[in-house]
Amino acid sequence: MARFEAWLLESFKPTSVQREWPLLHVNQAGTVVSGMADLIVHTADGAWIIDHKSDQIEDSVQAFLKYELQLQAYADAIAATGTRVAGVAVHWIRRGEVVIHPVGATGRFIE
């Protein structure tokens, strides 16, 4: 984790970091979204939501897609508080890799 923490500081230059942050939100469809954000990294450009995953995977980018809806729901919940969301990421703990995905001005993932 020390390597990840060093990468986090160098890559994002956070102004603050929230760990294990509970989320509760009712989305536009009226569905209750409840979860726990592993990390919310606040930067000058907005917040990054980082989720730690320990799955054994072959392809980190393909595996990221499995969690895309969860991460978008978290981004929507945080954006609903008035916080600008810059992007989301998955930290693949077993591989020591991070897949990052910025969001656009609409708050939706940039393809």
Q: What is the dihedral of CA 67, 69, 72, 77, to 10 degrees?
A: -110
Residue 8 to residues 3, 14, 62, 88, 98, Cα–Cα distance (Å): 9, 8, 22, 13, 10
For the segment 19-63, what is each residue's pLDDT rounded down to a tens digit? 999 999 998 889 898 999 999 999 999 999 999 999 999 999 999
Q: What is the pTM of this model?
A: 0.86
Q: Are strands 85-92 and 32-43 parallel, antiparallel or unpaired?
A: unpaired
How do residues 80-95 score in pLDDT, each as one tens digit?
999 999 999 999 999 9
